Structure 1
Amino acid sequence: MPQHAQHPAAKLRWSLLAAPVAGALVLAGCSGGGNDDGGDSAGGSADSFSVMVAQANDTDDAYAQLLEQYSTETGVEVEVIPYPSEAYNTQVTTQLQGGNAADAMILSPGTGQPISVITLAEAGFLEPLDDTSAGIIPEGTESLYEVDGEIYAQPTSLQPVGLVYNPAAAEEVGIDEFPATYEDLLDACATARDGGKSFLVIAGSVPFNTGLFSQILSATRVYEQDPDWNEQRTAGDVTFADSGWRDALEDFVELNEAGCFQDGAAGGTFDNITNGIGGGTALSAPVPGSAANSINAGAGLETDVQAFPPADGAGEFTMASANYAWAINASADDDVKAAVQEFLDWAAEPEQAKTFADIFGAVPITGVAGDDLLPIYQPIGGLLESGAFTGLPNATWPNPAVYDALGAGVQGLLTGQTTVDGILDEMDAAWDQ
């Protein structure tokens, strides 16, 4: 049974907004309230603001649901502007540079992507946040949000990342349990093919997804043995070319040659992932764990989240981190900035943190506990509670070019236009630039 079934009207609302040119959903609450003209309220903050968010599919509206709750409780009007996931990074950077971005937005902590918090903060695009925002940042990850002693983003939740898996579709082809080892996975790929399905579906034309899958592979190929590998790379003690990253990319090549991916994987999009898992033609997909919630709600399934099977000699390990964060546009009016910060303070309260995590299909940013885990995370619950996980590696890579080289390079592996050696050399060169 889906965990967060939605009213049909809600699905229609978001399907209308999922066009290549984003539509805007205006949330207007009935309680509380500010001035009708959108100016300062008595408390010095505006009574409206806008937020731009990424949207993977029609039911991917967790941000809007939380903002709608806030609007209802406070009377503050919020304009939610969704963009397709594959276009979101470009929209954020283009609009920030053009001076026409929304008042607030969802970004990626750290430095490894074009919409990374540190990259944009250092460029002067973001507004510093208050102590409440700083107070919910997971210990030891402050560097992903901080520049010159100021915090520039507030994490939304802890997001496990692995393979969203459809057990019912697997059972249809005779696979009764998720593969325990990498060799078991290769066998399962053959079994799925014999049954007219693919074990994996990927968005091969989207560098974000090919890069994400490669990072998932690196969990047991690199970070289970060397959790501080990124620090070693910064010190110059290791390289991509001479490390477990080679094993990760060679395994990707083997998965492709073994027929583990859907036909036409090089041209795959997020729609292929949604349709493949939702329609039962694929058994799993490398996406953030929250996608399981969205797919379950949209297709009435009971998918869950699995860790990628470990490499030979490695222990079970997975990935989980605060992958998304709220940020305020530095060019917004002061009263609007104050209004957004009031929302962030509200969102940081434990009750709202739990509410958002449940809607989004994540783990509360306040911490991992068995009682707080959604059913979709039960297969990896022990790993999460024991700390057998690492954050997404690219969050602390020195610049977006390293991740670009990975994502685009793995696309080339699908088309035969590049090699593992070429990708690793490009990643090392990008790191050192």
Structure 2
Amino acid sequence: MTTRTAPSKRALPLAAALAAGALVLAGCSGSGSSGGAEPKTITFAFGATNDQDKAAYSGLATAFAKTHTGVTVTPQNLPAQSYPSTIGTRVQGGNAPDTFQSEGGTGQSYSIIPFAKAGQLLPLTDSAILSALPSSQKELWVYNGKAYGVPLGSNANGVIYNDDLAKSIGVDITAATSLDGIIAQCGKARAAGKTIYGLAGGATANNAFFALGLATSTVYGPDKNWNTKRAQNTVTFAGTKGWRTALESIKKMFDAGCFQDGAASAGFDALTNGASSGKILGFFAPSNAAKEIMDAAGGHVKLVILPIAAPGGTKTYLSVSADQSVSASAKTKSPQLAQEFLKYIVSKDGQEAYSQAVGTIPVTADASTKLLPQFEPVKDLIDANTVRGLPSTDWTNVKVYNDLGNGVQGILTGQLTVKQVLQQMDADWG
């Protein structure tokens, strides 16, 4: 991997950020091998949550087809609310689309590695694909030495922040500000009729994303191999101080008024409504959300990306992950064409086209790559390699992640303690 991507294999599903969880799959095509010349048409299924993502996915299909005479890639934008769980069912049932949006690693219902182990994905035999994968995250796409998916790009997982609005009310937060320094300013934001952060506390995805962002610094910053140790049963969630600190910090922020009123039960609409009305200064999401909002505002709003800050005395790490991926079905009737399409996606041209469209970082980026302006506040963190991924892609199952998100809500409402949440995650781990 280059200097602009995460040095660890941990990542977080993009659906965990602004999309409300998992996405519904309607009918797709592609299954079964056949003799003779393979068809020159394949399907490409995805669960775009907005027009920007839909255009970026469709743009990949169009750009690839333009350079391959007689080839058609048919985009299929499928209902976003249940995509991960339903694509999992389709893949396991042998009637998946030819190519489709997937999740690197393990731990989610549409993760690549479990599908690969079950023989449900097309092995990508082109050496150019394997060599193009970011070296320090190959575990997300490679099983038994073979690649079964390619990344769409890297996201910085942090805070989408309106710095101009913040400064207009005397709130000053930078990438170097500690969590304690942020909490100290929550009262000032409240006095101006705003809150520093919006939180969709009723949405498991947003809660888990936020908690994992804190743990990026409190757990994985000091020990990037924590997941490996958990798999070996040499550490536990409940027994790790960094995990306790992460969840206790969320309650401290809640008590200090750092989130909007009703945050414990709010949905994702609270984030979009709060941001568009100027009532919240920032919210927790992958970096591509910044471009989406700025584009929708027609250039009238300037947003930047900040890390999810660590408590005072703890070094802040930025979460950068390349977990959002594309795979091909083992049942496709056009394996060569499907592989060529995935090869294009991970190429320099494919990566740059997609990243410019959605506001991510190409996995092919190096120190000379010009990042979009919203990355300026975290550029030093990226260049200094002060980054980690998010752990959910190599957790044992999705229940660990879901119970983290549900547990955060329980902590905010007083129905659960930090200890109970972490003990439940240990029980989920198995």
Q: TM-score, normalised by structure 1?
A: 0.84
CA distance in 2: counterparts of 1:247 and 1:85, whole angstroms: 33
Choose the corresponding residue for 1:202, options 176, 199, 224.
Answer: 199
1:64 equivalent in structure 2: 58
Matched, 1:125 2:120: yes
Choose the corresponding residue for 1:376, options 374, 382, 389.
Answer: 374
1:306 equivalent in structure 2: 306
1:422 equivalent in structure 2: 420
Matched, 1:54 2:50: no
CA distance in 2: counterparts of 1:86 and 1:254, whole angstroms: 31
Matched, 1:95 2:90: yes
- For the residue of structure 1 that corresponds to 2:45, the secondary structure is strand
Alignment of 1:117-266 (within 5 A): 117-130=112-125, 131-178=127-174, 180-243=177-240, 244-266=242-264
CA distance in 1: counterparts of 2:78 and 2:276, whole angstroms: 21
CA displacement at 1:241 relative to structure 2: 0.7
CA displacement at 1:421 relative to structure 2: 1.1
Quick check: 2:173–2:182 contact (8 Å CA) kept in 1? no
CA distance in 2: counterparts of 1:276 and 1:102, whole angstroms: 37
**1:24 to 1:91, Cα distance in 2 relative to 1, 3 A:** closer
Residues 159-190 of structure 1: CA deviation (Å, up to 9, x unaligned) = 21111111233234322443711122112322
Residues 117-159 of structure 1: CA deviation (Å, up to 9, x unaligned) = 1122223332211323222221132222222332111112122
AA in 2 matched with 1:288: P
CA distance in 2: counterparts of 1:373 and 1:24, whole angstroms: 37
Higher relative contact order (CA 8 A, sep 6+): 2
CA distance in 1: counterparts of 2:155 and 2:24, whole angstroms: 28
How many residues align structurally? Answer: 399
Quick check: 2:25–2:83 contact (8 Å CA) kept in 1? no
AA in 1 matched with 2:283: A
- For the residue of structure 2 that corresponds to 1:169, the secondary structure is helix
- For the residue of structure 1 that corresponds to 2:219, the secondary structure is helix
1:33 equivalent in structure 2: none
CA distance in 2: counterparts of 1:52 and 1:121, whole angstroms: 18
CA distance in 2: counterparts of 1:121 and 1:412, whole angstroms: 35
2:319 equivalent in structure 1: 319
**1:76 to 1:414, Cα distance in 2 relative to 1, 3 A:** farther
AA in 2 matched with 1:261: F
Give structure 2 stretches of 5+ with no counterpart: 1-22
1:391 equivalent in structure 2: 389
CA distance in 1: counterparts of 2:75 and 2:200, whole angstroms: 26
**1:186 to 1:84, Cα distance in 2 relative to 1, 3 A:** farther
**1:247 to 1:264, Cα distance in 2 relative to 1, 3 A:** same
CA distance in 1: counterparts of 2:399 and 2:50, whole angstroms: 27
Instruction: Identify which range, 399-408 or 296-305, moves more after superposition.
Output: 399-408
CA distance in 2: counterparts of 1:318 and 1:23, whole angstroms: 36
Quick check: 1:370–1:385 contact (8 Å CA) kept in 2? no
AA in 2 matched with 1:79: T
Residues 201-236 of structure 1: CA deviation (Å, up to 9, x unaligned) = 233233222111111011221122112222222232
Quick check: 1:156–1:326 contact (8 Å CA) kept in 2? yes
Alignment of 1:396-411 (within 5 A): 396-411=394-409
CA distance in 1: counterparts of 2:26 and 2:96, whole angstroms: 14
CA distance in 2: counterparts of 1:208 and 1:313, whole angstroms: 28
| Identity in percent | 33
AA in 2 matched with 1:212: F
CA distance in 2: counterparts of 1:385 and 1:287, whole angstroms: 21
Give structure 1 stretches of 5+ with no counterpart: 1-19, 26-39
AA in 2 matched with 1:216: G
AA in 2 matched with 1:325: S
1:111 equivalent in structure 2: 106
- For the residue of structure 2 that corresponds to 1:160, the secondary structure is strand
CA distance in 2: counterparts of 1:192 and 1:96, whole angstroms: 48
Quick check: 2:26–2:79 contact (8 Å CA) kept in 1? no
CA distance in 2: counterparts of 1:93 and 1:267, whole angstroms: 29
CA displacement at 1:270 relative to structure 2: 3.1
1:34 equivalent in structure 2: none
2:332 equivalent in structure 1: 332
AA in 1 matched with 2:308: F
**1:427 to 1:276, Cα distance in 2 relative to 1, 3 A:** same
Quick check: 2:106–2:112 contact (8 Å CA) kept in 1? yes
- For the residue of structure 2 that corresponds to 1:372, the secondary structure is coil
**1:198 to 1:370, Cα distance in 2 relative to 1, 3 A:** farther
Q: TM-score, normalised by structure 2?
A: 0.85
CA distance in 2: counterparts of 1:270 and 1:154, whole angstroms: 29
